[in-house]
Amino acid sequence: MKNITLLDKEFRPLIDAKTIDQVISKMATDMNKDLDGEAPLFLSILNGSFMFTSDLIKQITISGTQISFIKVASYSGTSSTGEVKELIGLKEDIQGRTIVILEDIIDSGRSMTHLLEYLRNKNPRKIVVATLFYKPKAAVFKVPIDYVGIPLENDFIVGRGLDYEGLGRNLPDLYILNS
Ligand code: IMP
Ligand code: MG
């Protein structure tokens, strides 16, 4: 794997695609066991989670599984703007249902806190949080996380759905900002 350049920044390889695939398979296996019989509604948080969602959901075998998409954006450039810009919602009635939130990464926890508050008001039976990547040292808002794929240091990463200024989402491997 080689370094890549996106706009003005250089990134180096951090985690290869195969390793990430294996982690996602493990998450799917765990969910299939834990959520059996719950007819879960998976909520994929756009844009970053589209690839994680696709990879994971193909391996979910739970009867009654559904998928919907929601958008919460709080990020611009390489640092959190500290402001939730958008929330494009949810058509489904989630009352009494098991909701599984699929997030690409939890950084400060701001987006997830906002989303959880929004969803709890709609009285689901249970909300399960799954994130592919997690930066524990960046946590400002404490969020309950049920499934963590790969914990990371407090660095800026791209690939596997994650972007820098809209670039790099298509990369199957994960890259870290060279600084
Ligand atoms: P939070 O609200 O600070 O937890 O930020 C969560 C959102 O910020 C994620 O869903 C990503 O879209 C974005 N984000 C956080 N860290 C990174 C990163 O290292 N690279 C790219 N996007 C990130
Ligand atoms: Mg995101």
Local confidence pLDDT in tens for the 179 residues of the chain: 899 999 999 999 999 999 999 999 999 999 999 999 999 999 999 999 999 999 999 999 999 999 999 987 555 555 555 554 456 778 889 999 999 999 999 999 988 998 998 899 999 999 999 999 999 999 999 999 999 999 999 999 999 999 999 999 999 999 999 98
Catalytic residue among 93, 107, 163, 173: 107
- Nearest atom, ligand 1, residue 104 CA: 10
Crossing angle for the helix pair 17-34 and 50-57, to the nearest 10 degrees = 60
Task: Give yes or no for a contact between 131 and 108, defined as CB atoms under 8 angstroms apart.
Answer: no
pLDDT value for 18: 98
- The residue type found at 176 is I
Residue in 53, 75, 80, 99 with CA at minimum distance from that of residue 139 = 80
pLDDT value for 79: 57
The 3-state DSSP class for residue 74 equals coil
Q: Whose CA is nearest to atom 20 of ligand 1?
A: 157
Q: How many angstroms is it from 93 CA to the middle of ligand 2? A: 23
Q: How many angstroms is it from 37 CA to the middle of ligand 1? A: 32
Q: Could you say which ligand is closest to the alpha carbon of residue 110?
A: 1
- Does residue 53 line the site of ligand 1, with CB under 6 A? no
- Distance (Å, rounded) from C-alpha 49 to C-alpha 57? 12
pLDDT in tens, 120-148: 999 999 999 999 999 999 999 999 999 99
- Distance (Å, rounded) from C-alpha 14 to C-alpha 116? 30
At 166, list the tokens.
Answer: 């809209």
Q: Indicate if 8 belongs to the active site.
A: no
The 3-state DSSP class for residue 66 equals strand
pLDDT value for 1: 86
- Does residue 161 line the site of ligand 1, with CB under 6 A? no
pTM: 0.93
Task: Give yes or no for a contact between 62 and 11, defined as CB atoms under 8 angstroms apart.
Answer: no
- Nearest atom, ligand 1, residue 109 CA: 4
